[in-house]
Structure formats: C-alpha cells, structure tokens
Structure 1
Amino acid sequence: MGGTGDQPGPARFAAVPVLGIAAVLAGVLTALSGRYGFHRDELYFLAAGDHPDWGYVDQPPLTPLVARAATAAFGNGPAGLRVPATLCCAVTVVVVAALAREFGGGRRAQVIAAVTTSTSGYVLGIGHMLSTSTLDLLVWLLVCWLVLRLLRTGDGRWWLAVGAASGIGVQNKYLVVLLIAVVVAALLAVGPRRVLRGGWPVAGAAVALVLALPQLWWQARHGWPQLTVADGIRADDGAENRAMFVPQQILFLSPMFVPVWVAGWLRLWRDPALRWARPTALAYPLLCALVLVAGGRGYYVIPLLIVLMAAGCEPVAAWTRAGRRAVRGWTAGAAVAVTAAVSAVIGLPVLPTGALAVAQAVNPEQGEQVGWPTLVSAVRDGWSLIPADRRDHAVIFAQNYGEAGAIGHYGPGQGLPPVYSGHMSYADWGPPRDSADGPVLLVHQDGDRRIARHFTGCREVARVDNHHDLDNEEQHAAVELCSGTRSAWSALWPSLRHYY
C-alpha cells in the first residue's frame, strides 16, 4: 500500500544508548521502590484486585488486576507492587525515543528524547508507584507512535494496531478515548484525510470496541457510575483544575523542557518534510480545549506534550552540533542535570519524610505514601477498647478507600477484622450483616463529619499521628467508638455510598 507521500525511511534506532538509559531508570526506580510506603490508590488497587470484576465504579479493571498479579509474583510490599510501574516507565522511555525517530530524529535526537523523558518529574512520579496514569501514559504514547506509522506509510492496516492499543487502554482508563477523538478531528481538519477512508479505520474501531466491550457492559449495567465520579471531580476541583492547567503542565514535565516541546510543535506545524505529521501538532490544542471545558486536570494532556517534546529533540540535537559545540553541549547537560535533580525531589522518595513539605507543594502524592501503618495502629488501639464479648457484633467502618485499604492490608496482622466503607467500589463489596449491631469503630478525616451523622453515641478514642509532622490527608484523622447505627446496615447502606 502506498504512503501518504514520498517520505524517507526513519534513521536507524539507537538501541544501545536508549535501552541503556531505560535500564538505568529502571534501576533507580527499583532501588527506591520500597521507600516511604503504599500510596492510598495502591492500597485501593490491592483491595480491588481481591474483588476481581469487569469494572469498578471509578475505574476499569486492568490496574487492579495488574496489582494482584504483581503482588502474587513479586511480594505483597510496595517494592513488589511497583515492578509493573517500573517496567512501564522503562518501556515509555523506549517508545518516546521511537517517536523521535519517526519524526526524523537521528541517533543524537533519540538519545535526547530518552534522557528528557527519563528525567521529567511526571514520568518519574508515575513510574515510582503503580497508578492508572502509569499504564495510561504508555498506552497514549504507543497509540501516537502507531498513528505516526500509519501517517508516514499510509498503510491502513496500522488501524488494527491502533484499535487494539486503544481497546486495551480503555480497560485501564477512559481518557484514551479523548486521544482518538482529537486525532480523528485533526485528520479531518488538516489531513491526510485519505487514511480515514476504506475499511481499515472501521476494522480498527471494531477491534477497539471488542476489547473495550466487557468494561463498557459493566458500566452500562451499573448505571454508568464513572460519569458520576467525573461529575464529582468537575464540581469539586473544576475551577482549580482550570486555574492550574498550564502551570501543572510546565511544572510536571519540567520548565527546562518548555523550549524543546515548543520547538517540536513549531516544527510539526511548519516543516514541509513533516507535513504528514501535522495532525499531531493540532491534536494538542484540541485536547487542551476538551480538558479545559470538562474541568479536567492539567496532567491529562502531558502525554501529547511528551510527543511534541519528542518532535523537538531533532532541533535540539542540531543546536548542540552547531558552532561552539562544547559550550552548547555543557549547557544542555547542565539543564538536564538540574531537571533530573528537581524532578527526583518532586517525583521520587529521596527526601527524608520530615522534609516532604517541599515536594508536596508541587506533588501532594508524595505525602500520601506516609503514615498508613500508624493509622492502623490507632485503629487497633480503638478496637482494643471494645469488650471481647461484643467484638462479634462490632464493625470497623472507614470514610475513604485509603483508610479502608490500609486497614484491610495491615489490619489482619494486628488482629483486626475485615473493614467496610461506602467509598467508591467498597460500597459494592457489601454492607456488614444486620446482626452486627455495634459497637462501630469509625475512622474519618479530621473535621469531616459527613459519615459520623449516621452513627450513634460516638466518642473519640484515638487520633492518627504519622510522627513526621507531615500534613497529608490522614494526619490527625479521628478514630471514634460509636454504640451503633441509626438503622440496620442494609437500610443504611445506600446513604453511606459516596464517590468523593
């Protein structure tokens, strides 16, 4: 099949240096993977993995299943859970180098792409811990690489691979649908439109639908709860997300890399040799508009920003080769070194936990990895106050999935029973039996009384202290001992369900 134009083949892939950079990154992530502790989302993934299903109210099933497989294969601690995140991050570096190659980048540009990717704060942060964003970034970049292969060669059979990657991506996070939407819109706007004709795009869409169908069926069967979750995020954080939309992109990827992705966008839009790739340039502002309207977070568009950065690596390579090479080389090296140091502080567990306030100002997720065992110890202290003859009727109820996940993970080792919560998919895993009529040990965030109003005779018996004076979401969380519930659990349960 013919291409979209007489495009020269890409340069040889710089396998040895690129794979070497990916291996070094994987080594660093592995060495640091056991520091601090689980993130609240990771604890939730572990719990969801113990309740395998085709979907959950706030996410598709892939990440929880990966979490379950990882802990079964590599151990039940943070280091074992994070092996897939490390591997995804290393592969991401390789894919970005391949993107730079598709954009006509030679060996030096590919190495620059690998280095800039492996030192960006966003990549390091999501590579350190397992999250839906970890897999999502890799899926987006892989889809973009496949689309570029399609555009450069004009071979419609690449639509099958695009569809397969997108369908798998939907089983992890729904945002990949936005990527496909803006790519198709960009193709319609600036071409080459011929790649949208014929049966291959339809076949690719069919492949994506078949792979995504189990999750879509689950969501439809349960009344599309993901939309409720999205509405809650927009209502709670939409204004802040819009205000921080641009700053988040700059800070998360790195201010030092702004000239690189700006050069990449200008190159894709202006360079006649890359006219076939121009839809990539248009897709970025289209995606920004969609996310802004929806009140989404700034990091949703970072995958396309990384694609633009890959396109900008060849101009950077040419700049380092032009006059005063030594000075320009040292300048580029110094910028990368500064970026790597700052990104490590923001995204990796390199600081003492007592100094995390600095990193939290940019990346609050750092602090959410600290203090879970002490929370469970406070719960254990509260549980010990319940008379032994009442414990068969007693219930531990947590306000959110982080608290519930921590108690579920660490609690059995401290003699605690199963925990219940109405947050997200914990609500689907069932209420306690109605005969469990109290006492109730209630765990909730400091100052948040929304849940407590459903219980009677409550008195505070413990407070959570992470012992690092770290102001994360669970610092000073309250543990209250309540005499019971205001009605039977089965009647009360719908009122206890909440999504945010």
Structure 2
Amino acid sequence: MTAVVAVRTAPQDPPTTEPTFAYRGVAVIAAISALVLTVTAARFDFFGDELYFLSAGRRLDYTYADQGVIVPLFAWMADQLAPGSVTALRFPAVLMCVGAIVVSALIAYELRASHRVQLLAAFTYATSNLVATQVILSTFAFDATLTAVITWLLIRWVRTRQDWLIIVAGLVAAVDMQVKWMIPIVWACLGLAVLVCGPREVLRRPALWVASAVLALSLVPILFWQSQHNWPQLAMGSIIAAEQDATGFGQLGFIPQWLGLASFLGVLLMVIGFWAVFKQESLRPFRFIPIAFLIMTAFVIITHGRPYYPTGFFPAMFALGAVGLWRYDRKRWMNIAMIPIAAASVLGFIVSVTVTPLPSSWRYPAEDAIDLGIRSGFWGTTNWTTLVAAVDTGYDKLTPREKANSAVVAQGYWQAGAVEQFGARYDLPATFSPSRGFGFFGPPPDSATSVIYLGMDSAEPHLRARFDEVERVVHLDDPMGIPGIDRMTAIWVCKGPKQPWSTLWDSMTTLYFDLGVWQDHRATTRPTH
C-alpha cells in the first residue's frame, strides 16, 4: 500500500480536464480495510460503554440522558441478529470507518485531484490510528464519519453552488444529532469559519437557514427530554473534563493524543493542508475547513474535551494536504522522505490491529486513572464473567422467598451492563444502576426488599446508611485486575431498604463514574429525577 504515496517532482497545476473518481482504487482500499477491521474487531472483549449500549437497546427510547437513539438501536439490532457476538456489535463501526475512508477520497475528488491524490487521501485515513480506535461501537464512531460527510457536502457546494447540498448537510447533521450532541458545535464552528474567511455567499443562501432549521428541529425532542430530567447533559461537561484531565494528562496531553490519532502521514498532510489553503490559489476557497477545524480543536482544548472530538475533520484535512502536496514544487529528497513516513503509518496501523491486546502476563497494577487508561488501550476490559459469577454467589445467599422480591443493583453502569449481558446463565433478577444514563432507566420496584449490590469495596458505609442489613459476601481484588471489575470490587447482600426505592433512588443517582482511581472528585453532580 505504500506505493500510493509515490510522487513526481514537477509542480502540478490544477487539472485542465474534468477529473474522474478513482472508483477501483478506492474500492480496493475500502475492501481491504473492511476485511482487516472485521477480522480483528473481536480481539478486545466488550468495552464497558458497549455493554451500556446493549442495555440501552433493550430499553429503546427516542433519546437518552447522554446520547441519542442511533447507537443503542444498532446495539439492539446486533443483539437480535447475533447475540453475544462482539464482531456483530462492532460491525456498524467498521462500516463507519470504511465510509470515512471513501469520503476522504470523495473530498479530494471535489478538490479536482487526480486518482493518485484521491488514493493518497483514502490511504492516509485507512492507516491512521483513528481507524484502529474507531472500531468500537460508540457515538464517536458514527459522529466522526457523519461530520466528514457534512464537510464533503459543503466542499462540493463551494465547487458547484448547488443549494440542495446544503440542505442535505443539514439533514445529515440532524441524523448526527441522534448520535452525539456535538454536531451543533461543529455547525457553529463551520459558520464562524465561513464568516471569517468565506465564502460568505453561503450565509445569504436560504438553503443554509433551511438546513439550520432542520438541525434546530432535531434538537426539540432532546431538549424536551432533558428539561424533564433536570438537564443531565449540562452536568456531564464538567465530569468529562475531570475524567479527561485524570486519564489524559489534562490539556497538555490533548495535543500528543490528538496527533497520535492522525498518525505520521496524517500529521504531515494536515500541516501541508493548512499551508496549502493559503498559498495555493485553487484551494483558497476552502480555507474555511482548516479554520473551522482549528476553532473546534481550540474549543475542545479549552473545555477539556476528548482528543477525538475534532477528528471528523480529518478526512477533509487529509484531502487538502494530499492535494497541496501534489501541487507543490517538491525536491527529490521530499519524495524520498515520504516513503518512511508512509511506512511508519502502515506499521503503526498493523501493530494496532494485530499486537494488541498485549499478553496478560505483561499487565501491571492500575494505581491511578492514567494507568487505567493505558491498561484499557493495551489490554482492554476483561473478566466480566468473573464479576457476574460473584454476583451469582451473592444471589445464592438468598432464600427462595427473598429471591422472589430481589434485584441486582450495580454501582457503575459498566457493571450493570455486564450483569445484563452475562447474567442470563445464572437466572439473576432484574438489574438496576444509579449510574449515569442507567440511572434514568428507573429504580427497582418498591417490592424489592433484598438486593445484591455490586460496587467498589469502599461503598459499604453508604449501604449501611440505606439498608437495615448489609453483609459483604464476595471481595474481588486481583492486584493485576481492573478496578470496578475484578479489583477493589465487592458484592453485598442488602436487606430492608430504609426508604421506598422510589424515594431512595434520588439520593443514589449520580453522573460521576467511580472506578476507585480518580484523583479529581470535583465532578459529583447528582441529577434529580
């Protein structure tokens, strides 16, 4: 695949003939990527958020506390078609990755690039670390590709001035709103960039305001739900910021993580893309793309967001960089230097999808949130079945009469998802959790007088304040385990809740996700139902 980056030394002017789309070459790259990503998709066990999406899919609703309905819907579909299959669950994310690869080439085509340049843009996205990260069922997997589609439609509008493209972009944004609630910020960043550097003509087009109205209307049901539940999404901002600071070295850690997602070749093309839109006449109409990308990135850094939030702009930036590189008067040494850069990106991608997860014998204890983040990246989250078996041990402590009026309550939403996913073999009672979105699924019935409680081993004082009887029956504390799964975790049998569950739940629900290793506990907001 490295042959894609072989380049000529002569400067390239914009083509005088109408370019064609590199269907065959892009199809080859997309097919190889789809095959590799599908075959390796199940190398990691279920991620905690994926277990939550499966639980949310079993409770389909028009929206949720922290995301829209699309990801839980796909989780439900995968669970119906292939129950328990990690590959089936992640296949929609694979399709999203492949879609972004194709969009990268489509954007290069809109920039009037040759087949080689289109393939370079697609190749760069296909070999980026972003792709290896994106193949997990998540809101990010969908949001990144849908954002890329929006930028492609706007770039095509700049070239063709066909206003229906703007309306379609608004429809795509409305769909993305049912995935992740970041798209209004992306839309605003694009608008601000157009205001700064053009083409300002789009601001006078009625199609833009129709598209913006479509996006605004898609917010209405979400805002209604949030208003009825004390606006949990507003509280999530500070919590995500605290978690990002704890696991990602704060704001200073954003840049290296962000660049790491782009990989070596991607970083090079992004730099060239920034330069080219100001220096090459044919690319100047598209200056709003890197400016919007820059604004979005600055916003995410200032608000302590996740490094992958702005990556929906990567396909457009890779395409701009590929075009800018091809039309630059390069020296021979520059062409030669491209070979090891491309090879390093390919090698990094191959390592990501084949070497990880690392052997379990290489694990080390997770002493803080940074350790936990590294552990998750290199080893994944494992031993869910050990956790659920411990819950069954607690359930066996109940008498038949107590079992008839019992429930499982998990402190964390990951744990609750694991019990629902792996607990069927044990015939456990219904599972509840006051954690994040799971808490909004509702409390146990007031008839549940016996509870198997699963949580961090520090939870006992809180349990004694809420139940008449509390007995710890299992303690999981593997020094090499993962906090919240098989380390610093305990199972209690709790009897006699001191208040009805309908009342008790309000004091228990929290958006803060305790894994026992956070150093920053500032984000402990509890919404009231």
- What's the TM-score once normalised by structure 2's chain length? 0.85
Candidates 478, 486, 489, aligned match of 1:475: 486
Cα offset, 1:339, TM superposition:
2.5
Go from structure 1 to structure 2 and tell me whether the alpha carbon gap of 1:320 and 1:404 turns closer, same or farther (over 3 Å shift): farther
Residue 445 (structure 2) pairs with residue 433 (structure 1): yes
Query: Aligned partners of 1:189, 1:199: CA distance in 2, in Å?
Result: 20
Residue 377 (structure 2) pairs with residue 341 (structure 1): no
Is the CA contact (8 Å cut-off) linking 1:99 and 1:310 kept in structure 2? Answer: yes
Cα offset, 1:214, TM superposition:
3.0
How many correspondences in the alignment? 490
Matches within 5 A, 1:46-125: 46-125=54-133
Query: Aligned partners of 1:391, 1:360: CA distance in 2, in Å?
Result: 36
Q: Which moved more, 1:277-286 or 1:28-37?
A: 28-37
Is the CA contact (8 Å cut-off) linking 1:70 and 1:81 kept in structure 2? Answer: yes
Q: Which amino acid aligns with 1:28?
A: V
Question: 2:410 aligns to what?
Answer: 398
Cα offset, 1:28, TM superposition:
1.5
The answer for unaligned runs of 5 or more in structure 2 is 1-13, 513-529
Matches within 5 A, 1:186-205: 186-205=193-212
Residue 276 (structure 2) pairs with residue 274 (structure 1): no
Q: Which moved more, 1:157-166 or 1:306-315?
A: 306-315
Query: Aligned partners of 1:10, 1:212: CA distance in 2, in Å?
Result: 40
Q: What do the CA deviations read for 1:370-421 (whole angstroms, capped 9, x no partner)?
A: 1211111111112112223321233211011110011011112112111111
Q: Which amino acid aligns with 2:177?
A: V
Question: 1:260 aligns to what?
Answer: 269
Is the CA contact (8 Å cut-off) linking 1:40 and 1:368 kept in structure 2? Answer: no
Query: Aligned partners of 1:116, 1:196: CA distance in 2, in Å?
Result: 32
Cα offset, 1:475, TM superposition:
3.0
Candidates 394, 401, 414, aligned match of 1:389: 401
Query: Aligned partners of 2:481, 2:391: CA distance in 1, in Å?
Result: 19
Question: 2:188 aligns to what?
Answer: 181
Question: 2:159 aligns to what?
Answer: 152
Is the CA contact (8 Å cut-off) linking 1:368 and 1:472 kept in structure 2? Answer: no
Q: Secondary structure at the match of 1:395?
A: strand
Go from structure 1 to structure 2 and tell me whether the alpha carbon gap of 1:28 and 1:254 turns closer, same or farther (over 3 Å shift): same
Question: 2:21 aligns to what?
Answer: 13
Cα offset, 1:199, TM superposition:
1.3
Query: Aligned partners of 2:350, 2:79: CA distance in 1, in Å?
Result: 30
Go from structure 1 to structure 2 and tell me whether the alpha carbon gap of 1:332 and 1:493 turns closer, same or farther (over 3 Å shift): closer
Cα offset, 1:111, TM superposition:
1.5
Cα offset, 1:334, TM superposition:
2.3
Q: What do the CA deviations read for 1:312-341 (whole angstroms, capped 9, x no partner)?
A: 123445689964798456434422333223
Cα offset, 1:63, TM superposition:
0.7
Cα offset, 1:197, TM superposition:
0.3
Question: 2:256 aligns to what?
Answer: 247
Query: Aligned partners of 1:465, 1:236: CA distance in 2, in Å?
Result: 23
Query: Aligned partners of 1:100, 1:119: CA distance in 2, in Å?
Result: 17
Go from structure 1 to structure 2 and tell me whether the alpha carbon gap of 1:276 and 1:256 turns closer, same or farther (over 3 Å shift): closer
Is the CA contact (8 Å cut-off) linking 1:118 and 1:124 kept in structure 2? Answer: no
Q: Which amino acid aligns with 1:14?
A: A
Q: Secondary structure at the match of 1:34?
A: helix
Residue 231 (structure 2) pairs with residue 224 (structure 1): yes
Is the CA contact (8 Å cut-off) linking 1:261 and 1:306 kept in structure 2? Answer: no
Root mean square deviation, CA, Å: 2.9
Q: Secondary structure at the match of 2:223?
A: helix
Question: 2:8 aligns to what?
Answer: none
Q: What do the CA deviations read for 1:171-208 (whole angstroms, capped 9, x no partner)?
A: 10011111110110011111111111031111112222
Cα offset, 1:350, TM superposition:
4.8
Cα offset, 1:170, TM superposition:
0.5
Q: Secondary structure at the match of 1:483?
A: strand
Is the CA contact (8 Å cut-off) linking 1:120 and 1:343 kept in structure 2? Answer: no
Candidates 448, 451, 454, aligned match of 1:443: 454
Q: Which amino acid aligns with 1:382?
A: G
Query: Aligned partners of 1:197, 1:488: CA distance in 2, in Å?
Result: 58
Query: Aligned partners of 1:397, 1:66: CA distance in 2, in Å?
Result: 26
Question: 1:3 aligns to what?
Answer: none
Go from structure 1 to structure 2 and tell me whether the alpha carbon gap of 1:175 and 1:66 turns closer, same or farther (over 3 Å shift): same
Is the CA contact (8 Å cut-off) linking 2:146 and 2:312 kept in structure 1? Answer: no
Query: Aligned partners of 1:399, 1:52: CA distance in 2, in Å?
Result: 22
Cα offset, 1:281, TM superposition:
1.7
Cα offset, 1:10, TM superposition:
6.3
Is the CA contact (8 Å cut-off) linking 1:101 and 1:110 kept in structure 2? Answer: yes
Q: What do the CA deviations read for 1:279-321 (whole angstroms, capped 9, x no partner)?
A: 1121122112222232212221122244222211234456899
Candidates 17, 21, 35, aligned match of 2:43: 35
Query: Aligned partners of 2:59, 2:28: CA distance in 1, in Å?
Result: 38
Q: Secondary structure at the match of 2:190?
A: helix
Q: Secondary structure at the match of 1:369?
A: coil
Is the CA contact (8 Å cut-off) linking 1:443 and 1:479 kept in structure 2? Answer: yes
Question: 1:130 aligns to what?
Answer: 137
Cα offset, 1:433, TM superposition:
2.1
Q: Secondary structure at the match of 2:241?
A: helix
Go from structure 1 to structure 2 and tell me whether the alpha carbon gap of 1:252 and 1:446 turns closer, same or farther (over 3 Å shift): farther
- What's the TM-score once normalised by structure 1's chain length? 0.89
The answer for unaligned runs of 5 or more in structure 1 is 1-5
Query: Aligned partners of 2:20, 2:494: CA distance in 1, in Å?
Result: 68
Cα offset, 1:457, TM superposition:
3.6
Query: Aligned partners of 2:80, 2:453: CA distance in 1, in Å?
Result: 31
Q: Which amino acid aligns with 2:499?
A: S
Q: Which moved more, 1:457-466 or 1:106-115?
A: 457-466
Question: 2:322 aligns to what?
Answer: 313
Query: Aligned partners of 1:125, 1:353: CA distance in 2, in Å?
Result: 20
Is the CA contact (8 Å cut-off) linking 2:386 and 2:486 kept in structure 1? Answer: no
Question: 2:10 aligns to what?
Answer: none
Query: Aligned partners of 1:268, 1:218: CA distance in 2, in Å?
Result: 42
Is the CA contact (8 Å cut-off) linking 2:125 and 2:315 kept in structure 1? Answer: yes
Q: Which amino acid aligns with 1:334?
A: A
Is the CA contact (8 Å cut-off) linking 1:375 and 1:465 kept in structure 2? Answer: no
Cα offset, 1:161, TM superposition:
0.8
Query: Aligned partners of 2:73, 2:195: CA distance in 1, in Å?
Result: 37
Identical amino acids, percent of aligned pairs = 30
Question: 2:300 aligns to what?
Answer: 291
Go from structure 1 to structure 2 and tell me whether the alpha carbon gap of 1:333 and 1:279 turns closer, same or farther (over 3 Å shift): closer
Go from structure 1 to structure 2 and tell me whether the alpha carbon gap of 1:168 and 1:151 turns closer, same or farther (over 3 Å shift): same
Q: Which moved more, 1:131-140 or 1:105-114?
A: 105-114
Q: Which amino acid aligns with 2:431?
A: V
Q: Which amino acid aligns with 1:146?
A: L
Query: Aligned partners of 1:73, 1:186: CA distance in 2, in Å?
Result: 44
Q: Which moved more, 1:375-384 or 1:104-113?
A: 104-113
Cα offset, 1:369, TM superposition:
3.2
Q: What do the CA deviations read for 1:431-468 (whole angstroms, capped 9, x no partner)?
A: 22222222x221113445685353444333223367x9
